[in-house]
Chains A and B, each alone.
Chain A
């Protein structure tokens, strides 16, 4: 179990020619969807999941992960150039990044984002290498009661950090778990299948994700189309000056530390990280008046923080099988499609996949720096694709991709159902992310509940009698309290309110 041997295995896997190619394809696609407002990594990964079915598991996961962190890079490009964050975590970057662009410093702003992201990604990958194996070893000692409580904690913690109504988010989780019960019960008996043979295997999570994050988003965008103002003519000098480098160093370091820590937490870890980093840089800076008017620190810190968090959010996924946010929930689905149960066993039973995936993320980050800076012109051109062509493409690709999953037309009908439901719920102030997490984790929750109650001969007190399980449940209660206590709640709103400045 030596670190270098493991990293060597990872390098060997990630550097295989076909894996390099999938990684490159992943980050290119990711950058593209990150740049394009109106389509995010969640919908993209959901649409492409079915077609990765024929790939080797490690290649598929390398590509899907690449889409995710590639989108973080692409999102900041859009934020800087048109003040329209392609990704929620890039919202902060838009504040000072776009101001820099308007002052004719779009080039240095883009370069700062890329350099910060690369450094943060490198450090966060090391954090992943160091912390994942011990955490997995701890989780290996868990039994069903501990896993049940862990899933409960994961689900609740994921909404404690998110914005919006806590009650509604809780209801969305429960609704997601309920949709997860459609199909068959633990013993294989049909349940809620309405006599439809095609529903016997349950609702596919690809349909849920594409509907909730793809179709619902389209319906919302069609309500009012915004016109985009591009700042393109100003990208002449890409390279930051020596003064810029001096000013970005400390924010990058602080952002990386903050992001690495917050990324491990479930929920909006990467969003919180970028907002938190911006607040810290603003407080520490001697030039507070520059913030909001193109301070390079306001780009360097948050960009590093959100990329570090994107990387470390793989830790709970790879060690506990717990997704921190919707994209990670889809990664769980990807593992399952390829016949791998995500959780602490992955590192032991699939070392090649585990280490290969981690090393590929560092290589992918390198690709992104090389790709993004010289090819910035191409990405900017993508912004000229009109939305009237983009959204029918999403519908067409989603239909054919989802249908190819088992050649089942009901998977396509389900997209329409979840699209309308998601749109209605978003209109009523309910965010779709908790529903997807509940849907993916629901069957796991039922399974562990069932096993635990068999161990305890039907006595539910097993969850408080086992010490680890009890601690996890206490933490879950604490997370709810944090979310609803007025004092903390107000402070949380302040952090998110920075966005509107």
Chain B
């Protein structure tokens, strides 16, 4: 069915908004809702979660009715995985390895997100970026972050 495939963007977007909206609704119900006069922590998110789910329904409906739209296009999964890995690596190791180790790992992983970059190139980029970041952030801007962390015995 070409019409349905054409409006896939709207249908998926509507679905995402409905799911997130309902998640916030369910989440808010576990908190005190309160009254308009004394709003509980759940009041505002409950209202907006419902609104978001409602907008999601409208977008979904529009997707089914309009039936036309662009294709979504391919997703570069390698890039998604490597960039996420780079950020997680930095967050998980910056205290243990210190800034130098965490930066090197994050730069290397993110450089490899581009499929045409070779390992050799990525290593060079990672070394250069680590040096540059240390100069900019630690030497010039004087952020008080440890260069080497407790995981690395000196």
Chain A interface residues (CB < 8 Å from chain B):
51, 165, 167-168, 170-171, 174-175, 177-178, 181, 185-187, 189, 191-192, 215, 218-219, 222-223, 225, 387-389, 391-393, 395-397, 399-401, 403-404, 407, 409-410, 412-413, 415-416, 419-420, 423-425, 427-430, 446, 449-450, 453-454, 457-460
When distances are taken between beta carbons in the complex, the residues of chain B under 8 Å from A457 are 37
Q: Quick check: A416 and B126 within 8 Å, CB to CB?
A: no
In the complex where A396-B129, A420-B80 touch, is A391 in contact with B114 (Cβ < 8 A)? yes
A236 to B36, CA, bound (A): 68
Q: Which B residue's beta carbon lies closest to that of A409? A: B91
- Could you list some 17 contacts between A and B, CB below 8 A? A51-B141, A165-B10, A167-B59, A174-B51, A174-B55, A181-B48, A185-B44, A191-B42, A192-B24, A218-B79, A392-B86, A396-B106, A403-B94, A420-B80, A429-B69, A450-B39, A458-B36
Q: Quick check: A392 and B126 within 8 Å, CB to CB?
A: yes
B97 interface contact, C-beta 8 A: no
Closest 3 CB pairs of A and B: A458-B37, A185-B41, A412-B91
A170 to B56, CA, bound (A): 10
Shortest A125–chain B CB gap in Å is 30
Q: Which A residue's beta carbon lies closest to that of B102? A: A399
Residue from A400, A420, A425 with most neighbouring chain B CB atoms (10 Å): A400
A165 to B125, CA, bound (A): 40
When distances are taken between beta carbons in the complex, the residues of chain A under 8 Å from B95 are 409
Q: Quick check: A409 and B92 within 8 Å, CB to CB?
A: yes
Q: Quick check: A399 and B90 within 8 Å, CB to CB?
A: yes
A223 to B21, CA, bound (A): 30
A457 to B38, CA, bound (A): 9
Q: Quick check: B10 and A218 within 8 Å, CB to CB?
A: no
Q: Which A residue's beta carbon lies closest to that of B103? A: A396
When distances are taken between beta carbons in the complex, the residues of chain A under 8 Å from B70 are 429
A22 to B137, CA, bound (A): 16
Shortest B137–chain A CB gap in Å is 5
With contacts A192-B45, A409-B94 known, what are 12 further pairs, Cβ within 8 A? A170-B55, A171-B17, A189-B31, A223-B79, A389-B125, A392-B126, A396-B133, A424-B16, A427-B72, A428-B13, A430-B13, A460-B36
Chain B interface residues (CB < 8 Å from chain A):
9-10, 12-13, 16-17, 20-21, 24, 27, 31, 35-37, 39-42, 44-45, 48-49, 51-52, 55-56, 58-59, 62, 69-70, 72-76, 79-80, 83-84, 86-88, 90-92, 94-95, 99, 102-103, 106-107, 110-111, 113-114, 116-117, 121, 125-126, 128-130, 132-133, 136-137, 141, 143, 145
A460 to B137, CA, bound (A): 50
A51 to B107, CA, bound (A): 20
In the complex where A168-B59, A174-B55 touch, is A392 in contact with B111 (Cβ < 8 A)? yes
Q: Quick check: A427 and B75 within 8 Å, CB to CB?
A: yes
Q: Which B residue's beta carbon lies closest to that of A187? A: B41
Q: Quick check: B107 and A167 within 8 Å, CB to CB?
A: no
Shortest A192–chain B CB gap in Å is 6
Shortest B111–chain A CB gap in Å is 4
Q: Quick check: B106 and A395 within 8 Å, CB to CB?
A: yes
A445 to B38, CA, bound (A): 16
Return the contact of A399 from the options B40, B62, B103 (Cβ within 8 A).
Answer: B103
Shortest B86–chain A CB gap in Å is 5
Q: Which A residue's beta carbon lies closest to that of B104? A: A396
Q: Quick check: B107 and A410 within 8 Å, CB to CB?
A: no
A420 to B77, CA, bound (A): 11
A453 to B55, CA, bound (A): 25
Shortest A387–chain B CB gap in Å is 8
When distances are taken between beta carbons in the complex, the residues of chain A under 8 Å from B133 are 396-397, 400
Q: Which A residue's beta carbon lies closest to that of B70? A: A429
In the complex where A409-B91, A453-B39, A457-B37 touch, is A167 in contact with B58 (Cβ < 8 A)? yes
A453 to B130, CA, bound (A): 53
Return the contact of B16 from the options A387, A400, A425 (Cβ within 8 A).
Answer: A425
Shortest B138–chain A CB gap in Å is 9
Q: Quick check: B90 and A412 within 8 Å, CB to CB?
A: yes
When distances are taken between beta carbons in the complex, the residues of chain A under 8 Å from B35 are 458
Return the contact of B129 from the options A393, A450, A458 (Cβ within 8 A).
Answer: A393
In the complex where A395-B86, A403-B94 touch, is A171 in contact with B55 (Cβ < 8 A)? yes
Shortest B71–chain A CB gap in Å is 10
